Protein backbone atom coordinates (compact mmCIF):
# COMPACT_ATOMS: atom_id res chain seq x y z
CA UNK A 1 0.00 0.00 0.00
CA UNK A 2 1.51 3.30 -1.11
CA UNK A 3 0.87 6.15 1.31
CA UNK A 4 2.48 8.92 -0.75
CA UNK A 5 0.12 11.29 -2.56
CA UNK A 6 0.96 12.17 -6.15
CA UNK A 7 -0.24 15.60 -7.23
CA UNK A 8 -1.70 15.81 -10.73
CA UNK A 9 -1.12 18.86 -12.91
CA UNK A 10 -4.27 20.44 -14.33
CA UNK A 11 -4.10 21.80 -17.85
CA UNK A 12 -6.22 24.96 -18.19
CA UNK A 13 -7.76 24.91 -21.69
CA UNK A 14 -9.68 28.18 -21.78
CA UNK A 15 -7.05 30.27 -20.08
CA UNK A 16 -7.49 33.91 -20.88
CA UNK A 17 -4.85 36.45 -20.07
CA UNK A 18 -6.84 38.57 -17.66
CA UNK A 19 -4.37 41.06 -16.27
CA UNK A 20 -6.14 43.82 -14.45
CA UNK A 21 -4.73 46.88 -12.81
CA UNK A 22 -3.56 45.74 -9.38
CA UNK A 23 -4.83 49.00 -7.93
CA UNK A 24 -8.37 48.23 -9.08
CA UNK A 25 -11.04 49.63 -6.77
CA UNK A 26 -13.52 47.06 -5.59
CA UNK A 27 -17.06 47.37 -6.92
CA UNK A 28 -18.45 44.75 -4.54
CA UNK A 29 -19.95 47.31 -2.17
CA UNK A 30 -21.44 46.09 1.07
CA UNK A 31 -22.70 42.86 -0.54
CA UNK A 32 -19.42 40.97 -0.11
CA UNK A 33 -17.44 38.95 2.40
CA UNK A 34 -13.81 38.51 3.39
CA UNK A 35 -13.43 35.33 1.35
CA UNK A 36 -14.58 37.03 -1.86
CA UNK A 37 -12.36 40.07 -1.21
CA UNK A 38 -9.38 37.81 -0.56
CA UNK A 39 -10.07 35.79 -3.74
CA UNK A 40 -10.38 38.98 -5.80
CA UNK A 41 -7.17 40.35 -4.32
CA UNK A 42 -5.22 37.17 -5.06
CA UNK A 43 -6.55 36.66 -8.60
CA UNK A 44 -5.93 40.29 -9.61
CA UNK A 45 -2.25 40.13 -8.80
CA UNK A 46 -0.57 38.00 -11.48
CA UNK A 47 2.90 38.69 -10.11
CA UNK A 48 1.98 36.71 -7.00
CA UNK A 49 1.83 33.37 -8.83
CA UNK A 50 4.90 32.10 -6.97
CA UNK A 51 3.32 33.05 -3.65
CA UNK A 52 0.07 31.32 -4.71
CA UNK A 53 2.00 28.16 -5.61
CA UNK A 54 3.80 28.21 -2.25
CA UNK A 55 0.48 28.80 -0.48
CA UNK A 56 -1.14 25.81 -2.21
CA UNK A 57 1.91 23.65 -1.37
CA UNK A 58 1.59 24.61 2.29
CA UNK A 59 -2.14 23.86 2.24
CA UNK A 60 -1.40 20.46 0.67
CA UNK A 61 1.25 19.71 3.32
CA UNK A 62 -1.06 20.67 6.15
CA UNK A 63 -3.92 18.69 4.66
CA UNK A 64 -1.79 15.56 4.51
CA UNK A 65 -1.24 15.80 8.29
CA UNK A 66 -4.97 15.86 9.02
CA UNK A 67 -6.25 13.80 6.08
CA UNK A 68 -6.56 10.56 8.05
CA UNK A 69 -9.04 12.10 10.49
CA UNK A 70 -11.07 13.71 7.73
CA UNK A 71 -11.12 10.55 5.61
CA UNK A 72 -12.25 8.56 8.63
CA UNK A 73 -14.99 11.12 9.32
CA UNK A 74 -16.23 11.52 5.74
CA UNK A 75 -15.05 8.26 4.28
CA UNK A 76 -13.97 7.57 0.75
CA UNK A 77 -16.75 8.07 -1.76
CA UNK A 78 -17.40 5.75 -4.64
CA UNK A 79 -17.02 7.28 -8.10
CA UNK A 80 -20.82 7.17 -8.44
CA UNK A 81 -21.33 9.05 -5.15
CA UNK A 82 -18.85 11.74 -6.22
CA UNK A 83 -20.60 12.12 -9.58
CA UNK A 84 -23.97 12.43 -7.83
CA UNK A 85 -22.68 15.03 -5.36
CA UNK A 86 -21.16 17.28 -8.04
CA UNK A 87 -23.59 16.49 -10.90
CA UNK A 88 -20.72 14.93 -12.81
CA UNK A 89 -20.66 12.35 -15.56
CA UNK A 90 -18.51 9.40 -16.53
CA UNK A 91 -18.24 7.97 -20.01
CA UNK A 92 -15.69 5.53 -21.31
CA UNK A 93 -12.37 6.83 -20.09
CA UNK A 94 -13.18 10.18 -18.48
CA UNK A 95 -14.93 11.76 -15.53
CA UNK A 96 -16.33 15.27 -15.97
CA UNK A 97 -17.15 17.51 -13.02
CA UNK A 98 -18.76 20.95 -13.38
CA UNK A 99 -16.24 23.07 -11.45
CA UNK A 100 -15.18 26.42 -12.85
CA UNK A 101 -11.58 27.30 -12.16
CA UNK A 102 -9.43 29.94 -13.80
CA UNK A 103 -6.08 28.71 -12.52
CA UNK A 104 -4.62 25.36 -11.52
CA UNK A 105 -3.75 27.04 -8.22
CA UNK A 106 -7.43 26.99 -7.22
CA UNK A 107 -7.65 23.22 -6.81
CA UNK A 108 -5.43 20.29 -5.91
CA UNK A 109 -6.14 16.84 -7.30
CA UNK A 110 -3.88 14.15 -5.94
CA UNK A 111 -3.97 10.38 -5.77
CA UNK A 112 -2.34 7.35 -4.25
CA UNK A 113 -2.61 3.60 -4.67
CA UNK A 114 -4.29 1.61 -1.93
CA UNK A 115 -5.02 -2.12 -2.24
CA UNK A 116 -4.59 -1.95 -6.05
CA UNK A 117 -7.15 0.88 -6.30
CA UNK A 118 -6.43 4.53 -6.96
CA UNK A 119 -7.76 6.86 -4.25
CA UNK A 120 -8.21 10.46 -5.45
CA UNK A 121 -8.48 13.61 -3.33
CA UNK A 122 -9.96 16.89 -4.53
CA UNK A 123 -9.00 19.86 -2.35
CA UNK A 124 -10.03 23.46 -2.90
CA UNK A 125 -10.66 26.48 -0.71
CA UNK A 126 -12.25 28.24 -3.70
CA UNK A 127 -14.99 25.87 -4.89
CA UNK A 128 -18.35 25.72 -3.09
CA UNK A 129 -16.93 27.49 -0.04
CA UNK A 130 -14.20 24.85 0.21
CA UNK A 131 -14.15 21.15 -0.57
CA UNK A 132 -12.16 18.16 0.60
CA UNK A 133 -13.38 14.96 -1.00
CA UNK A 134 -11.79 11.57 -1.49
CA UNK A 135 -13.10 9.01 -3.92
CA UNK A 136 -12.02 5.70 -5.39
CA UNK A 137 -11.46 5.35 -9.12
CA UNK A 138 -13.29 2.54 -10.94
CA UNK A 139 -11.56 -0.85 -10.62
CA UNK A 140 -8.37 -1.09 -12.65
CA UNK A 141 -8.45 2.59 -13.69
CA UNK A 142 -5.70 5.16 -13.12
CA UNK A 143 -5.61 8.87 -13.93
CA UNK A 144 -3.68 9.74 -17.11
CA UNK A 145 -4.41 13.46 -17.27
CA UNK A 146 -6.59 16.29 -15.97
CA UNK A 147 -7.78 19.38 -17.79
CA UNK A 148 -10.21 22.22 -17.19
CA UNK A 149 -12.16 24.23 -19.72
CA UNK A 150 -15.56 25.87 -20.04
CA UNK A 151 -16.34 25.27 -16.35
CA UNK A 152 -15.69 21.51 -16.56
CA UNK A 153 -12.86 19.55 -14.95
CA UNK A 154 -12.09 16.46 -17.01
CA UNK A 155 -10.26 13.54 -15.43
CA UNK A 156 -8.92 11.13 -18.06
CA UNK A 157 -8.07 7.57 -17.08
CA UNK A 158 -7.07 4.18 -18.47
Using the predicted structure, report yes or no on whether residue 50 has a pLDDT greater than 90: no
Q: Is residue 19 part of a domain?
A: no
Span 80-98, average pLDDT: 94
Q: Is residue 1 part of a domain?
A: no
The mean pLDDT of the chain is: 81
Q: Please, which residues have CB within 8 angstroms of residue 90's CB and are 6 or more apart in sequence? A: 79, 83, 96, 138
Q: Is residue 41 part of a domain?
A: yes
Domain hosting residue 76, numbered range: 6-13+25-157
Q: What is the pLDDT of residues 1-40, one digit of tens each?
A: 557 889 999 999 865 444 444 445 556 666 677 778 777 7
What is the pLDDT at residue 156? 97
Q: Is residue 18 part of a domain?
A: no
Q: Report the C-alpha gap between 14 and 36 in whole angstroms.
A: 22
Q: How many domains are there within the chain? A: 1
What is the pLDDT at residue 20? 46
Q: Is residue 20 part of a domain?
A: no
CB 56 within 8 A of CB 105: yes
Q: Is residue 53 part of a domain?
A: yes
Span 52-81, average pLDDT: 72
Amino acid sequence: MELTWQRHEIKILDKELNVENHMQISTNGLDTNAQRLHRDFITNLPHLSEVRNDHMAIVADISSDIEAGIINTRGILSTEDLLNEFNGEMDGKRITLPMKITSSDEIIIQSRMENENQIVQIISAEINGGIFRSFIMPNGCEITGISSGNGIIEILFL
